[in-house]
Amino acid sequence: MCSVLNNHQAPSRDIALKNGELGRLTHIISGGYWVQNGQTERAGESVIALLHSMPILQRHLGWTPPRQMKPGSVRCPGREKRMLLAVQGCCPVGSWVIVHCKDRHFIAQIIEILHSSKGNQTLDLVTLHEFTLSEALHHYYEMPVLHKPERHHLVVNSETIQFIINVQHDCRAAGCSATGSTRQRQERMESGQELMH
């Protein structure tokens, strides 16, 4: 979090300080010892008991197992629907995923997540836009290329979504141009280099 919620002036220093603070907190509330004024000290029993009585503290320190949820189930925090995956994580609308349906695997982008529940019965479906993987690699980037068929939308059960993948837009082929520039900063100092983005 400290690399996201900072001013990006000295991220490595901020991250190191935050990790040190978290390590110290973990050591103290887990019953660890330290030397202070030549004496060995330890937190009191009430402080150590916090770890056992506060699930939120346990989660922040990574000391609890993840909640068991059925892969493919849909959760609706606020207005946005997110689908839980067979592997860890979740994917909102717009995510690129690997799908296993009718004895084949394919790559698709999530267009819509449909959730219906009546009593204790639920039905979770996903509208996908299927893409095909090119046989040849990209001529410049030497990476796999996806092709978008004219119309190939399909609706599948949410349990067929296997995992999320990273797909990048090809600015070179699309003719996108750099539209802005900023001066690069490194550890609170301007480096003199200009970045185009």
Same domain, residue pair 91 and 30: no
| Domain assignment of residue 192, yes or no | no
Same domain, residue pair 78 and 145: yes
| Domain assignment of residue 178, yes or no | no
What is the domain count for the chain?
2
pTM assigned to the model: 0.55
Same domain, residue pair 55 and 95: no
Same domain, residue pair 134 and 89: yes
Predicted confidence (pLDDT) per residue in 98-152, tens digit: 898 888 899 999 988 887 778 778 788 889 999 988 888 988 888 889 988 877 8
Q: Does the pLDDT of residue 76 top 70, yes or no?
A: no
Same domain, residue pair 102 and 31: no
Predicted confidence (pLDDT) per residue in 19-69, tens digit: 888 888 888 888 888 888 988 999 888 888 888 788 888 877 777 655 666
| Domain assignment of residue 129, yes or no | yes
Predicted confidence (pLDDT) per residue in 1-16, tens digit: 455 566 667 778 888 8
CATH code, domain with 134: 2.30.30
User: Judging by DSSP bridges, how do beta strands 96-101 and 121-133 pair with one another?
Assistant: unpaired
Q: Which amino acid, residue 75?
A: R
In terms of C-beta density within 10 A (0-12 exposed, 13-18 middle, 19 or more buried), how is residue 40 classed? exposed
Q: Does the pLDDT of residue 176 top 90, yes or no?
A: no
Instruction: Give, rounded to a whole angstrom, the gap between the first and last alpha carbons of the chain.
Output: 24
Same domain, residue pair 33 and 78: no
| Domain assignment of residue 4, yes or no | no
Same domain, residue pair 115 and 157: yes
| Domain assignment of residue 23, yes or no | yes
DSSP 138: P
Residues 6+ apart with CB under 8 A from 28: 34, 43, 47
HSE-up of residue 100 (Cα within 13 Å, Cβ side): 7
* Boundaries of domain holding 31: 11-60
Q: How many residues does the chain have?
A: 197
